[in-house]
Structure 1
Amino acid sequence: MKTNQVPQNFHALYDASERASRGIRSIAGSSVTDSERRESTRPGLSVDFDEATQLPNRVLVTDQPAQRTRQKASSPEESVEEFIATNAELWNLSDEDVASSVDIQSVSGKRMRTVQLVQKVDGIEVFNSEVTAAVNGDNEVVSLAGQLFPGAVRALRSRSATVTTPEQAIALATLDLTNVSCNAAAFVLTDTTADHDTYTFYNFTEKPGAAFHFTRPVRVKDVLFPLGDEKFVPGYYIELWIRDYPTFAYVVDSVGTPDVLYRSNLASDDKFAYRIYNAGDALLRPEDSPAPGSPHPTGIPDGFQATPIDARLVEVESLLTGDPWLPPGATTTSGNNCIAYADLASPDGFGTGDILGKITSADTFDYPYNHHLPASSPTNLQASIVGMFVHVNWLHDRWYEAGFDEAAGNAQLDNYGRGGIAGDPILAEGNDFSGTDNANMATPPDGSSPRMQMYLFRGCEPAMPARTSNFDAMITFHEMGHYITNRLVGNANGLGNRQGSAMGEGWGDFFAIAMTSRRDDDFENGAFPVGGWTDLRADFDNNYYFSIRRYPYSTDLTKNPLTFRHISNGVIIPPGVPRNPTSGGPNNEVHNAGEVWCAALWEVFVNLVAEHGHTEAERRVLDYVVGGLKLTPNSPTFTQARDGILMAVMALDTSDLPLVWRGFAKRGMGSGAVSPPSNSSSLAGVVESFDVPRRGSE
C-alpha cells in the first residue's frame, strides 16, 4: 500500500487536555483507589473500572446464588435487563437511563450464550456503549464487558441545535486524514437498505484531477459521544475508504465549531506467510504453506528449507450444515462469506482488469500451482485465489461454531434473519497492486465489508519466482484474526489503544499457529514460527525458524523466553537465546508486545492439548478465545483480556480453569499480575505474577 502520512488514533474521552478544554474533570491524582471502588460495589460482584470515566467496564458475578431472582428468567434478554436494572447504581444510571437508553441488539446462542446491547436514545446510539453480557444455561448473568454511560437521556433532550451537516463533517474528516480540502457539497446522499437503517451513505462526486478517490460510499450515523461526568456531544460517526490511505473511522462534533472527537485507523498491516495446501483430515485443515515447515524439524536455527508438497483436490460444501460457501451452479469465487479476487489494477476493489477465481469445469476449481513459474502466471494466480477463498470460508465456519455468528457481528452477504447487519462479505484481494511483501486487513463495524489485501513477496527475486501470500494459510489466518478481534471488541472501535493493538497482533499470530497445528506436532518442545515460506531472502535463511518475529512460539523458554514484563519499553530481553537478527524495535512496538500475548495463549492451548488431545483442545480453546473476546472491554489491558478468557472458561467448563491459569501464569500473567494503564504507550508499569489461584478459579 502506498505509504501516505496519516494522523494518529485519537479518542477525546481518553485525552486529558481535550477533557480539560471542555471543563470536564480528569481523574489524574484521584484519591479513590481501585480497591476502594471495588469495596463500594455490591457483594458477589468483581468489577473493573475504566480509567477515564471511573465507570465499570467489566462486571463478573462471583457469587451466583446471591444474584438469583426468585423466579428463573424466561430469556437471556430478560435476565440481562433485570441485572442492569438491579445494579444500575454501579454505572450511576437513573431509572430513565435504564428504561429509555439500554437497547438489546441481539442474542448469540452458539456455545457460550451472549446478549449484545447498546445505549440508544430516541434511536441515536451512544458511541462506544456496546456491552456484551454472558449468561449460563439457567439464564443467569455471568459477566458483562463494556461501559454504560449515565445521563444520556437528559443530555440528548437538552442538546444544542445541530449546526454542522453530515456533508460538512465528512469534508472535515477527509481533510484531517488527507490534509487536502474538499467541498462539502461534493458529498451526495444516496439510497440505503433496510439492514442499514441506522446509517446513511454519501457518494463523493469526484471531478477530473481530484486529489483523492473514495473506493466506497461514506457510511455515516448519528451518535452521542461521551466525554465523562455525564457530558455528551452529538456527533456523526463516519467511515472513510480512500485509495492509497488506510481505512479510518471518525466521530465529528455536530454542534458548535466542528471538532474531531475520535479517529481510528481500522487497517492492520502485517507481513506473514503460508498459503493453503490441504492436510486431507476430517476437518479439511489447511497446511501451513505449500512447503510446510511448522513446527521446525530440528528446533534450532540451522537454515532448514521445507520441500514443496502436492496440493489436494477436496470436495466440500461447507463445515456448517445448510450454509454453503457457494450457491448451486456458481462459476466464480463470489460467495456469501467471501468474495475472493485478484486486485491487479487501480482503483481498489473489483473492477476492470481484476480477476475472480473461476471454475475449470462444472462445480470444480482445479488449478495446480507450479513453483517454477511466477505467482502472477494465469494458472498460479487462479490457484492462489481459490486457496484464499477456501481459507476465509474455513475460518468463517470454525469461528461460527465457536460463537462468532451473525448476531455477534460476523461478515456475510445474507444473515438469514439470524441477527446482525447483512451485506458485508469479506473482500479478499489477492496479488494486490498496491504493495509487496505485506498484507493487511481493514475492519469496519458490522454491515460494511472487511477488506483483506494480500501481496506478492519478492524476497529472493530474481533467483526464484516471487511467492504469493494469497494461498498461504498463516498470512490469511493472521489477517483474519484482525477481523474477528476487531468485530468482537467494540464493533471495530475497541482495540485502538496500544495494548489492544498489540493483543490484536498476538491474537492473529495465535490463530495462525494454533489452527494450522496437527495432533502429532511436538507441543512440549517444538518451535512454531508464524510464517516461513514467503520470508526467505538472499541474506536470511532461517525463515522457517524465526519467520518475521524475534522468536518462534514455543513452551520451551530456551527457545522463546518472553514474559509479561517484556512488553515494556526498555526492559532487557533475556540473553543467550537465539534471536532473529532481522527483527528488532522496542518492546512496546505492537508486533513485539503482541508476541508476549500470543506466547501466553500458546501456553494455554498446549496445556489443553496435554489434557484433552489436539482435536478437543482446539475446539475448547476456540470457544474460550472467541468467548473471551466477547467479554473484553474497549481499550483493554492484557489482564482484562486474560480475564475475558477466564470468564468464558467459567461459563463453559470450570474444570479447565487450572489449565488456563497455569498457561497465563507461566508467562507472568498470573493472579497477581498488573497491567500498564489502558492508555499507556510505553507499556511501563507491568507487575508480573507467576502465581495460580489456590483453587484455579479465583
Structure 2
Amino acid sequence: MPNLLWTFGAAPALDKLVARTPEAAARWYMGQYAPWYGVSQALVDSAEVLRTIDLGRGGIVVIFGQRLGGVELFAVRQKVLLNRSLELIALSGSLHPGAPEAPFVGDAGNAIAVAIADLLGKPVSSTPLRLQDVDSAGFERYALTDGAVVDYRFQSPARAKRVWFRTPTTLLAAWWVEAQVGYGTHEDAASFVVADSNARLLYRADLQASHQFRVWADPTGDKRPQSSPLSDFSPHPTGTRDGSTPVLTQSVLVDFAPFNSTPNGVGDPWLTDGLESFGNHVFAYADLNPPSGFNNGDWAATGTPPGTFDHEYDFGLSPLASYEQTEAGTVQAFYVANWLHDWYYDSGMNEAAGVAQHSNFGRGGAEGDRMAIRTSDHSAYYNAFILTPADGASPVMQVGLIPSREGSSVTTTSGIDAGQTGMHFGGPSTFDVTADAVLAQDGTAPFNDACEPLVGDFAGRIVLVDRGKCFFFPKNQNAKAAGAVGVVIMNHTPGKPAPPLLDGVPLDILPQLSVTYEVGQLLREALLAGPLTVSLRRFSLPDRNLALSTDTVAHEYGHYLHLRQVALRTPTTLSISEGWGDFIALHLQLREGDDLDGTYTIDAFGSGNNTTGDPAYHGARRYPYSTDMSKNPLTLEHIQDSATLPPNFLVWYNSNSMSEIHNAGEVWAATLWESYVALQKDAEVTGSRSFDETRRVMSDYVMAAMAFAPELGTWLDARDALVLVALASDTSDGALIASAFAKRGAGSCAVAPSALSASFEGVVESYEVSARVATLAAGVNSEGTSCDGDLILDAGETGRVGAIVANAGVVSLEGATLTVSTTTPGVNFPEGATVPIPTLAPGAEVTLTVPIALASTFTPSFVEFTFSADGGSACDPGSKSQALVKLGGELGVRVADHDTTQGNGGHWSGSGLFSTFRVVLGESGLMFHVTGDAFSDHISLTSPEIAVGNQPFSFAFRHTYDLETYADDSGTPYFYDGGVVEVTRDGGATWADVADFGDPGYSGVLSADYDNPLGGRPAYVGVNPSWPDLDSVVIDFGTALAGETVQFRFVLGTTSGYYFPGWSIDDVNVTGAATPPFDGLVPGVPNSIYLDGDGDGVGAGEPVALCPVPPNGVAEGGDCDDVHGDTYP
C-alpha cells in the first residue's frame, strides 16, 4: 500500500454537501481511497480526528488515529493534506484493517518492570508500584510505593496505557510505557511497547537526542535571541577559514512580553509568579548535584526584584564560581525556550500538536507537562541533549558545561613536538608532567593497548599506549594502578588527527593526552634508540556554559518540535531530527540584510574548545552552512557510509561514520537552508513578501512538514512532505523547495535508502526537477479466459496485470511508456508488455494494464513484476518499482517444507531491544532481515514448531551478512557483532547451538571483551564469502531429533558501537519433518462459476451471475439468480 500518496489534481470531486469542514472533507477522501489501503468504509467512519493543523493560511493537515474497543492503535496515523478549498493534495500513512490476535490479560505492572529492567540493564525481581492517577493523555501514572527498597528511583512517574501494536496482518495487545529512571548518579529515559501476553519488548526508543552546541538578544524589534555571547559572525565576515575570532560581548537587559497568538488576544504568560525561572512552558534551573532533577542544592534563577532577572556573567570566572554566574546561564536558556515557544506556537506547535505546557488554558490537548531545562548539568559535561516523551509528560533538556579553548603539548628532550594533541574531557584541566617514557605492556595481544593490567615497572613513568580495543578510561586506570604519572594515547589510523578522549563525565584520572599515528611512530622509534624523557602539559581557561548558546538551546528545541510529532524513531527519523535541530538554530540566526549566500556556523561559542580547526568558521559541524557549494559540498550521497567527502574542501573531520545521525543530519539541514534561502531570494526579487513574512511562512512549512511526514518515512518522504505542504499553499514555493532539494542531489528522480537502514546505503542522486512516475498500486485480474471461474488466475488462463501510476514530480509527464516484466517462467505477455502513459499533470494518476497468459505448466507462486517507466519527460534512467503478486493458488497454512518468506513470515516470531528481524523485499524476493544496530542487543527470529519424523532430519537456509568488525594495526580482526543458529527441544525453556549437532559453517569467534551477549562464541562474523549474494547452509542432524517437536532461532548479538548492514535470511528448508511446518502456496480450488445469459452453456456470452458451486457440481434453477438455470458446462 502507498506510504505517501500524491493526488493533487486527480482526486475525486468533493461532495461538499456532506463535507463542509476540513475534518469531514478529509474523512470523505479517506473513504474514496479506502480500497487502496485495504480498509473498509466502516473503519474510515470510526477513525478519530487527533488534530487539525490549520493556520488560516497555506495547506490544512488533518490527522486521524484509530481505536479498537476504546484502545488506541500505537503509531497508526492517516494524515490528509488539503488546500484552502478543501481539495485533496495527498495522503500519508494508513489505518490498519487487522483484528486483535488475543485480548488483554495482563496489567501495567509487568510492562513497567520490563521497561525498568531495560533501563537498568539487569533483571528486576519486583516493582513495588502504586497507581497515582491517570493523566490527560490517558496514561496511568505510577509511583514507587512508600518505603520501597530498590536501587533505583523514578525521576517522574512511570506512564503506561493499553495500546494495540500493529503487525503486517494482526494487532497485538500491548502496553505503551514511558519511564525515566535514576540510578546512582545516572539517569535514563525511554519509550517502550511491551506485549501484554508475554511481556515481550515490541518497540523501544530513547526519549533523548544527543549533540554538542551553545544567547543574548536583539535589544529592539522582536528581541530575537542572538546566536551566542560572541560578536555577530552570522554570516562569517570573510567567508574563509582565516582564524578570524569573534569577541565576547555583554548581555543587554530587555523588556519583553509574550507574543504568541491566543483566543483572548494576549500572549500566554512566561512566568508563574515572577520570583523564579518557573513558568507555564519552562522550569529552568541549575542541576549541580546528583541525583538528576531539582534537589540537593540545585537552584532556579531568581528575580531581582521580582520580574527582573538581571544577572551579569563574568567570562573571566568559572560558570560555577557564584550564584550570579550560574543564574545568568539559567536565565538565558529560559528566555530562548520561551521565545521559541511563542514563535512556533503561531506556526502550529500548539495544544493540538503536543506543546509542553503546565496549563493548556482549556484549549485541548494533554497538559501538566512543562519543559524542564537543567543548566550547568552535572551529568551533561561537554554535552547537551533533550528527552522528548509523548504529549502529557515533560520534555527534559539537559545543558552542561564545555571546556573553553585550551592548550596542550607533548614534547621530548630528543626534539619531538607532537603539535596538535587530543585532550581528555574530565580529570585534571591543567598539568605539567615530565618523566621517562615506557611502552605499555599488558601481556595480552595486542600487547601495547593497556586494556588489561600492565606487566612490568611503570612507577613514576609516562606510559605510551596504543589506541583501540577498549575505551580510554580503562587504559588510564590500568596505567594509574601500575604507578604511572601520565599517559599518551597513540592513534591507530594514519592520516587522522589526534583523537579527542571522550569518556563521559569528569573522572579521577592521570594526566592524559593523545597524538597522531605518525607522532606515535616517532615516539616508538625514539624509545628503541634509548631512554626517552617526555613532557605532558595542559592549560585551560574557564569552562563555558552551553546555556548561554542560543544555537545549542535552539537545536535541542528543534528535537522537541520534531519528536513530539512522531512515535516511531528510526535511524532516518533521528538523523533528520538532527537536521531539523540545526535548521531551527539557523532560521533564528538569519537577519534581514544578511548575505544570503554567506557562511553560517552552528555554535561557534560552544566549539571554542576546538584547537585543531577554526570554530568561528566550522562551529560544531564539518562544514559551515552555505548555499555556496565550494563552502559546503554536502549532497544526498553523503548520508551513506560508502561515500567519501570531496577533496580540496576546508573540512573539520570527525571520526564518525557518514551515516552517524549528526553527520547525516548535516545533509538534511543543508537542504533545508537551501530551501529557506531560495524563498528569501524569491521574495527579494518579486517583492511578493517581506523578509519577516518569509520567515513566518518557512516556519509554517516546517511545522506542517514535521506533522505530515509518514511515521516510517524515508529521506525522500520527508522531502515530499515539505514540498507538498508548500504546494498546498503556494505552487511557486513548492517548486522553489523542490529545486533546492535537487541542487543537493535530492531531486525528483533520486532514490533513498529504506527508513530502517542504518548505513543509508543505496542512495541514487538526482539534480533535476522533472516528472517522476510512481507506481501506487499493482495487481492481476482474471479478465480473460477462465477455466473454472474462481477469480484466481490459474495455469492455462489469461488475464491482465496492471498498476495505478502517477506523476509524483512537480512538472508535467509527457511521452513516457510503462513496461511490465518478470523473470518467472510460464508468465507470458501475448500482446506485448509496453503501453504508453498519457500526459499527466503533477500529481495526476492513471490505471494501465497489459494482457498476460499463464502457461499450462505454471506452478503456483509469488510472482515479482517490475514496472519500468521510460522516455519522454520522465526520470532518466526510468523509474522502476516492484510488486509481488500471488498467482495460480492460495496461501495454505503449514503445507510446505520450504519457507521462501513469501507468506510474509507467517508463524515466525522475533524479539530484540532495539531492532527486530523484518520481512523485506530483496533482490530475490521477500526475505528476513535485521540491521546490525549500535547497541548491545540479543535479536532473535524464531521458527514455528517443527514435528520431526523418525527419519534423518536436516535444517537448511540461505543467507548473507555484513557485521561489525574491527582490525587493529597488525590486521588482527576483532569481531564485535555476529549471528548463531540455535535449537530448542523443550518449547523455548533452553536453547542449544546447532553446532552441537552439525556444522553450520561459522566463520569466526566473537570478541569476549565487549558487551555482546554472545561474546566468546563461534558465529557468523564479518562478511559472508559471496556478499552481497547469498550463501547456502545445510545442517544435518541425523536422527538426533527424531520424534521430537523443535524450534529453531537465528540470533544476532551486537555491541555498543556502530550500525552495520546486518543479516538477511531466506529459503529456510527442512527435510525429515513429520508434517510440513511452513506456509506456502497451494493450487486454487474452483469455488464459483459464471453462468452466461445467452443459454449456450459454454460461457460465450457475458457472465451475468456468480454462483456458488453446489455439492453435485451442477448449478440448476434456483441455485442462484440466473433466470435461465443453465447447467455448468
Please tell me the TM-score bracket, short chain as reference: 0.7 to 0.9
2:736 to 659, 662, 674: 659
Among 250, 256, 277, the residue aligned to 1:333: 277
Deviation at 1:72, TM superposition (A): 6.7
Distance, in Å, in 2 between the alignment partners of 1:202 and 1:175 is 16
Structure 2 residue corresponding to 1:294, chosen from 221, 234, 253 = 234
C-alpha deviations, 1:550-601, integer Å up to 9, x for none? 11111111111111111111112110001104x2321111111111111111
Distance 1:209 1:503, change over 3 A: same
Alignment of 1:672 with 2:749, yes or no, is yes
In structure 2, give the amino acid aligned to 1:435. A
The corresponding residue for 2:75 is 128
Distance (Å, rounded) in 2 between the aligned partners of 1:238 and 1:541: 44
Residue number in structure 1 paired with 2:495:
none
For 1:479, the aligned partner's letter is E
CA distance 1:327–1:507, shift in 2 (3 Å): closer
Shift of 1:647: 0.9
* Structure 1 letter corresponding to 2:587: A
In structure 2, the residue matched to 1:16 is: none
CA offsets, 1:295-325, max 9 Å, x none? 2222122222211122121111212242333
Who is 2:87 aligned against? 140
Find 2:203's aligned residue among 236, 246, 262. Answer: 262
**Greater share of helix:** 1
Query: Partners of 1:113 and 1:359 in 2: how far apart?
Result: 42
Quote the residue 1:559 is aligned against.
631
Report the Cα distance in structure 1 between the residues aligned to 2:95 and 2:270, rounded to whole angstroms: 40
Measure the CA separation in 2 of the matches of 1:454 and 1:661. 36
In structure 2, C-alpha distance between the alignment counterparts of 1:175 and 1:463, rounded to whole Å? 41
Q: Where does residue 88 of structure 1 map in the other structure? A: 34
Task: Name the CA distance, whole Å, in 2 between partners of 1:538 and 1:115.
Answer: 46
Find 2:553's aligned residue among 456, 461, 476.
476
Amino acid at match of 2:22: P
Looking at structure 2, the residues matched to 696 and 140 of structure 1 have their Cα atoms a distance apart, in angstroms, of 17
Q: Pairwise mapping of residues 4-19 of structure 1 onto structure 2 (< 5 A)?
A: none
CA distance in 2, matches of 1:71, 1:686: 46
Describe the superposition over 1:90-138 as per-residue Cα deviations: whole angstroms up to 9, x where unpaired.
22112442334x1112323324433232101121011111333233322
Letter of the 1:266 counterpart: L
Partner of residue 74, structure 1? 20
What is the TM-score normalised by the length of structure 2? 0.54
User: Could you tell me how far 1:262 is from its partner in structure 2?
Assistant: 0.6
2:400 and 2:20 map into 1 onto residues whose CA distance is: 51
CA separation of 1:328 and 1:443: change in aligned 2, threshold 3 A? closer
The yes-or-no answer on 1:246 pairing with 2:192 is no
Aligned partner of residue 241 in structure 1, secondary structure = strand
Q: In 2, Cα distance between the equivalents of 1:127 and 1:585?
A: 33
> What does residue range 584-663 of structure 1 map to in structure 2 within 5 Å?
584-613=655-684, 614-663=691-740
Gaps of 5+ in 2: 407-428, 430-538, 685-690, 772-808, 812-841, 843-1129
- Is it true that 1:187 corresponds to 2:129 in the alignment? yes
Q: Hey, what's the Cα distance between the residues in 2 that align with 1:652 and 1:487?
A: 24
Aligned-pair identity in percent equals 32
Aligned CA-pair RMSD: 2.0
Structure label with greater radius of gyration: 2
Work out which structure has the larger RCO, using CA pairs closer than 8 Å and 6 or more positions apart in sequence.
1
How far apart are residue 328 of structure 1 and its match? 7.2
Q: How far apart are residue 61 of structure 1 and its match?
A: 2.4
Asked if 1:351 corresponds to 2:259, the answer is: no
> 1:271 and 2:212 equivalent?
yes
> Using a 3 Å threshold, how does the CA distance of structure 1 residues 509 and 415 change in structure 2: closer, same or farther?
same
Task: Output the amino acid matched with 2:577.
Answer: G
* 3-state SS in 1 of match to 2:66: strand
C-alpha deviation, 1:500, in angstroms: 1.3
**Distance between the aligned counterparts of 1:72 and 1:297, measured in 2?**
59
Using the TM superposition, give the Cα deviation of residue 60 of structure 1 relative to its aligned residue in structure 2, in angstroms: 2.6
The answer to whether the Cα contact below 8 Å between 2:354 and 2:366 also exists between their aligned partners in 1 is: yes
Structure 2 distance, partners of 1:216, 1:294, is 39
Which residue of 736, 760, 768 corresponds with 1:691? 768
Aligned equivalents of 2:104 and 2:345: distance in 1? Answer: 41
Task: Name the aligned partner's letter for residue 201 of structure 2.
Answer: V
Code of the residue aligned with 2:575 in structure 1: it is A
Q: Which one has the bigger strand percentage?
A: 2
Contact 1:235/1:251, CA 8 A, preserved across alignment? yes
Conserved in 2, the CA contact under 8 Å of 1:73 and 1:79? Answer: yes
Q: Within 5 A, what are the aligned runs for 1:276-675? A: 276-292=215-231, 293-320=233-260, 321-327=265-271, 329-376=273-320, 377-459=322-404, 460=406, 463-488=540-565, 490=566, 493-494=567-568, 496-524=569-597, 526-537=598-609, 539-540=611-612, 542-581=614-653, 583-613=654-684, 614-675=691-752
Distance 2:758 2:591 in 1: 37
Inter-partner Cα distance in structure 2 for 1:245 and 1:141 = 46
Partners of 2:612 and 2:165 lie apart in 1 by: 49
The answer as to whether partners of 2:128 and 2:148 remain within 8 angstroms in 1 is no
The answer to whether the 8 Å contact 1:566/1:593 transfers is yes
Shift of 1:454: 0.3
Confirm or deny: 8 A CA contact 2:270 2:338 kept in the other structure.
no
Q: Which residue identity lines up with residue 256 of structure 2 in the other structure?
A: V
Deviation at 1:185, TM superposition (A): 4.4
Aligned partners of 2:64 and 2:769: how far apart in 1? 33
Aligned partners of 2:273 and 2:133: how far apart in 1? 31
Q: Return the TM-score normalized by structure 1.
A: 0.86
Task: Check conservation: 2:8, 2:88, Cα contact below 8 A.
Answer: no
* Structure 1: runs of 5 or more not aligned: 1-54
In 2, the alpha carbon distance for the partners of 1:312 and 1:190 equals 45
Q: Aligned partners of 1:538, 1:392: CA distance in 2, in Å?
A: 27
Return the alpha-carbon distance in structure 2 between the equivalents of residues 326 and 590 of structure 1: 33
Instruction: Give the C-alpha shift of residue 222 in structure 1.
Output: 0.2
Output the amino acid matched with 1:589: E
In structure 2, C-alpha distance between the alignment counterparts of 1:327 and 1:439, rounded to whole Å: 24
For 2:167, give the aligned amino acid. L
Q: Structure 1 85/575 Cα, relative in aligned 2: closer, same or farther at 3 Å? A: same
Contact 1:125–1:224 at 8 Å: present in 2 too? yes
Residue identity in the other structure for 1:349: G
SS in 2 for 1:171: helix
Task: Measure how far apart 1:696 and its partner are.
Answer: 4.6
C-alpha separation in 2, matches of 1:281 and 1:674: 46
Q: 1:272 to 1:59 in 2, by over 3 A?
A: same
In the alignment, residue 204 of structure 2 is paired with which amino acid?
Answer: R
1:170 is aligned, of 112, 122, 126, to 112
Q: 1:400 to 1:64 in 2, by over 3 A?
A: farther
Task: Report the 3-state secondary structure (helix = DSSP H, G, I; strand = E; otherwise coil) of the residue aligned with 2:552.
Answer: helix
